[in-house]
Structure 1
């Protein structure tokens, strides 16, 4: 990996041998907008989950991230589908910046439908419509218009891009020769800025020039106004947070959240195991006192309380910087699902010179703690005595129903995997119909789509008699949508996920944050359910057509509808009536993983020598806070 951050943004050249375990922490540590230049055959971004993890990092650290991908249409498609602006070269990016066409990055829409191909990179567009059966095109002004831009300046598959500017300083990679595109970027930026300087020397005023234009003669005045506004904002923030700190100080110290640990996925998934899911963690904490002289803080993941053979996973030592700490744990070589074997986090203060191999048995060295509640939920319909932890694991690690059907990894993973296959199958149908009119291929792909929508148990509802099963029977045992009524067994992926999301809410009904998360997730599920239902209706029509009818234009209309709705279900859709995104499976997959977050509090073990269980929103009555005050 080569890095250049001497300008207004950080340029990282990702080489074929770079690994995510080293690249992602570097990205998370950047303070400027990040440009990722991918070398040909770069291995760090090969799977959809790679970009999902990067989205998590982008959101958590409020980063602006842009890709430059010149050699791979597939990677460009994956990046743009996940909301990252993509350019074919640094020159294109610099020209777009200099043309003033770039605005602050937003996840406005994920591209789904191939439109045209230029220089080997697939440029994509999307049809968007309200969430109803009849599709309507986007009206004027509802989406950013790049029609006036030269093609080489348009971001691939993205309507917006970051707000940053290039400098004229020499762009040189640190510790190695400059990566491809660095000098070209520098030369282009020099030419652009020389042209801008020449334009500014002309006395004729330009119409509608706003004070924020670069090198404007009013720039010092603008900077003074901005500086004053920032000073006032800082003063206001100081007063606000002063009141907040006073409010926190009046609360019991053991309930003060000092940070959190989040399980994230590397994406190194395997259809026969739960590996690559929740196999990494990110820990962030704040307001921590410095450890005692000769001591360090160490972070640990702990197994469940009821385990006869206690499990602990060492995450490493924490570095404290002005009371804050950040730690990224890349997981083990097997990409083991950590949520499957751990449910608690502990921070100890121990010897700095001799790093411990396991948490100290001296409980006076225990400083911070958090856990997923394993207390059975008190609800009449909770006949299995599920806890918050149980529901979370069913979603993200292992579900008993799926395990019986040889489908490891949790519900979230299989919903994402199977919906992605629908995108592949439906898109290939249009290409074949237009190119070769192969009616047999159209029918086979439609049967595959129905198999994943219905599940093999209920597939007979839609397939003609004696139709072959054209997919792996194991992978199609669970359907994506409900086709047999509310009591369908086994339940569809969408219904099953909804059930466990409701269980999480039952376990922690007092959390406003969780209520908002669950509400957003269930709204996305409703959208996905509608779109996939439309796909099924179109597929049912196609399988009833004979070979001659399959070659008629009406079949292409049905295929196009299937492609549109499948892509909406997977990537979401911009609703032109509200200009808001209706989220799909990609968003659902990403945000469902964010539920696997443990809040940390400053607690000590009680006198019995057991760490008190923290039920969400409550503290064990015998818990001690750090200063020893008992509540």
Structure 2
């Protein structure tokens, strides 16, 4: 059982995992929803509302679960200056673009950040992330996706796990392949569900040298997640939810309750009431969704729990600090090296980045990093499978725009096919490429941009040893992703320059693009060590860990 290797895993969780791995198929779970429901019970946390609806509306033992295809060295440098001016560039790729939001369905909203243990068990899950789009109405975020690792010989598609619904019919332009990879599904669901349970122990252990020592008094974690709900401007909501998981919490005094709050750091404090907390055998769990779907990470930086009378729900936290019980904060002291705080860097990664905002690329660097990788992955699948060479050339051009941004026009200068993106949506999304482009040094490519902010986090006052260690690990993981993207770029440029005869026969090269794209999105098992080289999805998840609150008993200063 898993507890043999990790003593933090309880017998109840052991039972769920062993049932997943039962030799007799009839003894296994009938669906992914059933696994999640049982794991929630084993971990003593609430069953997600969407899972409750599935369980309540159908006999899961009789229903199938369908799956739909979703399909370098980055040195730590000086932190970017958000207010640096953007160069006015000649735009040859598209006319003016007015971004609109994709209706919810194809990609995923950002969910409560799962956790990993100190060894960072691979989380091959693409999150439910909201998608901002320009003109092509493609569906956005659904739920976390399941990633199948592929080998160079047999590149495969990546899958999105959903509630039981019939698979969609593939169109002639976009041929979807339906595949069920049971082992990958179980791995991802178990890893994601155990994440929050293991996060506290991972974050409270001793990390790398330097930084603030992690506090052994941490009682749990509060983390943001995104629903992807469209707001009045038809833009998907981000950081509009909060998940709280605490342990070893004593019951409040008779007649009192605990109340959770988010606050900013201003003199006239703005508070968001997350709701009353219920203590169940020392465990506290709460999922909060903001009714206005506001970006709470952009608004707040402090977490607080008060103990107040149960008969009247307070509108604001008590001003009497004797009633404050637990608190946490994202460090806000600015570094003399770059004049940014830990909180500034986190917000630029996960909420809003001024240079990207000027290009109508809202949502932070991490969002566009994963968005463009997922969209590019879909294009590589089409390049491999499509028989129409005109379409293939356009798809290759799209891929180069996702990779190189404005520099893709130079890449395609002598190519016989299309030299512009297929539509205004791709032109908008690729305003900044994944890789650096000399034509647009500010902002840099998304990989470099993430590395710059990780550097800032590692040097920020108040960063803990664990946070510094995690930032270093994420930066290291970016190197593999960069190498795969550069190989994919090499393949794409070779294909773009071929004549029709060569392009039609370039099966191996088109196949290699899928291999590289699968590595980027789903990771790769190193054939020598059998260790997982983390994917863009893992990197994105780890970046979200950096925005979690480590909740501790309140101490008045």
TM-score under structure 1 normalisation?
Answer: 0.58
**Residues 286-305 of structure 1: pairs in structure 2 closer than 5 A:** 286-303=247-264, 305=265
Q: Distance in 2 between matches of 1:578 and 1:373?
A: 37
Q: 1:446 aligns with which of 381, 392, 396?
A: 396
Q: 2:50 matched to which residue of 1?
A: 23
- Which of 455, 467, 478 matches 2:419? 467
1:505-551, Cα deviation, whole Å (9 max, x unpaired): 11158633223312321122111100010111111112212223322
Provide structure 2 residue ranges, at least 5 long, that are not aligned to the other structure.
1-15, 20-26, 38-46, 55-59, 69-103, 125-138, 160-165, 169-178, 188-204, 206-212
Instruction: State the match for 1:259 in structure 2.
Output: 220
Cα 1:58–1:496 shift into 2, 3 Å: closer
Match of 2:536 among 577, 582, 585: 585
Name which of 301, 324, 331 aligns with 2:290: 331
- When residues 503 and 109 of structure 1 are mapped into structure 2, their CA distance, relative to the original with a 3 A threshold, is farther
Contact 1:109 1:159 (C-alpha < 8 Å) held by counterparts: no
Aligned residue for 1:355, secondary structure, equals coil
Render the CA deviation track for 1:334-355: whole Å, top value 9, x for unaligned: 5332111111111111110111
CA distance in 1, matches of 2:223, 2:147: 21
Q: 1:378 to 1:112 in 2, by over 3 A?
A: farther
CA distance 1:353–1:25, change in 2 (3 Å): farther
**Residues 70-109 of structure 1: pairs in structure 2 closer than 5 A:** 81-82=146-147
The answer as to whether partners of 2:155 and 2:511 remain within 8 angstroms in 1 is no
SS at match of 2:285: strand
Please say if 1:596 is aligned against 2:547.
yes
The 8 Å contact of residues 277 and 284 in structure 2, kept in 1 or not, is answered as yes
1:306 aligns with 2:266: yes
Alignment correspondent of 1:140: none
- Corresponding residue to 1:113 among 131, 156, 162: 156
Deviations 1:66-89 (A, max 9, x none): xxxxxxxx9xx9877346xxxxxx
1:355-385 CA-partner distances (Å, limit 9, x unpaired): 1122123333222211111110132xx1xx1
Q: What is the distance in 1 between the residues matched to 2:470 and 2:52?
A: 26
Residue 538 (structure 1) aligns with: 491
* 1:389 partnered with 2:448: no
Equivalent position SS for 1:474: helix
Query: 1:271: how far off?
Result: 13
* Mapping 1:335-484, distance limit 5 Å: 335-379=293-337, 382=338, 385-433=339-387, 438-456=388-406, 458-464=407-413, 467-472=419-424, 473-484=427-438
5+ residue gaps, structure 1: 28-33, 66-73, 84-106, 123-153, 163-243, 245-251, 606-622, 624-631
- Give yes or no for contact 1:13–1:36 (8 Å, CA) kept in 2: no
The answer on whether the counterparts of 1:9 and 1:35 sit within 8 Å (CA) in structure 2 is no
Residues 81, 112 of structure 1: 8 Å contact kept: no
Distance of 1:568 and 1:270 partners within structure 2: 34
- Look up the match of 1:233: none
For 2:482 and 2:253, the matched residues in 1 are separated by: 55
Instruction: State whether structure 2 residue 469 is matched by structure 1 residue 516.
Output: yes
1:38 Cα deviation from its structure 2 partner: 6.4
Distance 1:469 1:323, change over 3 A: closer
Matches of 1:115 and 1:370, distance apart in 2 = 37
Report the counterpart of residue 525 of structure 1 in structure 2. 478
SS in 2 for 1:409: coil
Preserved contact between residue 350 and residue 544 of structure 2 (Cα < 8 Å):
yes
CA displacement, residues 199-219 of structure 1 (integer Å, 9 cap, x when unaligned): xxxxxxxxxxxxxxxxxxxxx
> Take 2:373 and 2:479, find their aligned partners in 1: how far apart are those partners?
15
- The 1:468/1:602 distance shift into structure 2, 3 A limit, reads closer
Q: How far apart, CA to CA, are the structure 1 residues paired with 2:329 and 2:146?
A: 34
Alignment match of 1:558 (pick from 490, 500, 509):
509
Paired with 1:575 and 1:36, the residues of 2 have a C-alpha distance of 38
Higher relative contact order (CA 8 A, sep 6+): 2
| Structure with bigger gyration radius | 1
> Structure 1 residues 35, 349: closer, same or farther in 2, change over 3 A?
farther
RMSD of the alignment, in Å?
4.4
How many residue pairs get matched?
A: 418
Note if contact 1:395-1:410 (Cα within 8 Å) is conserved in structure 2: yes
| Other structure's SS at 1:49 match | coil
Structure 1, 504-513 or 368-377: larger mean CA deviation: 504-513
1:163-242 aligned at under 5 Å gives the runs none
Q: Secondary structure at the match of 2:114?
A: helix
Return closer, same or farther for 1:388/1:441 CA change in 2, 3 Å cut-off: same
Label 1:413 to 1:430 Cα distance change in 2 as closer, same or farther (>3 A).
Answer: same
Please give the per-residue CA displacement for 1:220-266, whole angstroms capped at 9, x wherever unaligned.
xxxxxxxxxxxxxxxxxxxxxxxx9xxxxxxx9x9722322111233
